[in-house]
Amino acid sequence: MAKTKISDVIVPSVFNDYVIERTAELSALFQSGIVSTSPELNRLASAGGRLINMPFWNDLDGDDELLSDLQALTPQKIDAEQDIAALLMRGKAWSANDLAKALSGDDPMRAVADLVAQYWNRRWQATLISTLTGVFGAASMAGNDTDISGQGGADGIIGAGTTIDALQLLGDAKDKLTAFAMHSATQAKLAKDDLIDFKLDSEGRPTIPTYLGKRVIVDDGLPVAGNTYTTYAFGEGAIGYGEGGAPVPTEMDRDSLAGDDILINRRHFILHPRGVAFQSAVVADASPSNAELANANNWARVYQNKNVRMIRFRHRNA
C-alpha cells in the first residue's frame, strides 16, 4: 500500500483558513465572548511592525455650562491616547510520524487541520495566562486586583460573598464582567457549595457552567501558589484578537534520510488585553515569548481602571 504523504493531502490556501476558523471554534475564550476579533484587528495584525499602535479617545469630562446669551460656551479638547499590542509570531513543525494516524483518516487534511487547531487552541490559552500574569503584575493594575488568600477563615475563601466583593473593584462597571476563568479545583469547590449552575448549549444540553450568572471557563494552567488560587473575571471583548499573515503560513518539507514528511505551520497574531499597553521593555527577540509576556515590566495600564474589563481575584479554596 502506498504511504500517504503530507504533500498529497495539504492544500495550504484551504488549510490555513480552516485552522484559523477551527481554532476559534474550539476556544472556550471565543465562545464565551471574552476574546473578540474584527476586520480592523486583522488589518492591524497584518500591517507590519513588532508593536501595533491602537489609538483611542479618552472619555469626556468636565462640568456642563449654563446656556446664556451673554457668554459663549467654552470648547474643550478631546484627548487621544494609544494602546499598544505586541505582534506574536509563533510556529510549530510536525513530522509524518507524529501525524501518521491522522493521515490514515477518511479526510486526512481535515484530520490534520483539526489536530493543528487543537494545538493552537491550547497554546493560545497558555499565552493568555502568561499575558495576564504580566498585566496584573504591573503596579498600574492594582485597582483591578484583589488578594484575600492571607485572611483567616471564610474571609480568605472564594464564595458568593467574597466574589461579589472582588467584582466590586469595578464599581458600577461590574455588570460588564460576563465570565470567569478558574482552576478546576476552584470550580469543584463551588460545585460542592451548590454555586455552579448550567445553561443550555446550542443543542439544548445543560453543559455550559455558570457562577453568579456568568460563564465559567476551566483551565488548570491558571496560577496556583501553595493554597492560593487565581480566578479572573472578564467582560465581553476584554481580549482583542487579530490574525495577521505570516509570510509562509504553511509549508511542507521532507527529511529524505529519515524518510519523514514535515508539516510547518506559522502564525502572526494579536492576543491583547484591551487597555493595557505592551511596553516591550524586556524582549530579547523579534517577538515576545510567554515568559516575557509574563514580565510585569512589559505592561502599563492606559485605560481608566473601570474600562479595563478584567479583574484578578486571588483566594483560597479551603
Note the pLDDT of residue 137.
97
Mean pLDDT, the chain, integer:
88
pTM of the model: 0.85
Q: 244-282, pLDDT tens digit by residue?
A: 988 899 998 877 767 678 899 999 999 999 999 999 999
Q: How far apart are CA 153 and CA 64, in angstroms?
A: 48
Q: Place 1 in a pLDDT band, splitting at 50, 70 and 90.
A: very low
Q: 149-165, pLDDT tens digit by residue?
A: 999 999 999 999 999 99
Helix ranges (H only) for the chain are 6-9, 12-26, 28-32, 39-45, 96-103, 108-137, 160-167, 184-192, 290-293
Q: How far apart are CA 36 and CA 124, in angstroms?
A: 13
Q: How far apart are CA 128 and CA 310, in angstroms?
A: 13
Q: 121 pLDDT exceeds 60?
A: yes
β-strands 35-37, 239-244 pairing = parallel
Closest CA to 196 of 205, 204, 32, 184: 184
The dihedrals phi and psi of 65, each to the nearest 5 degrees, come to -125, 150
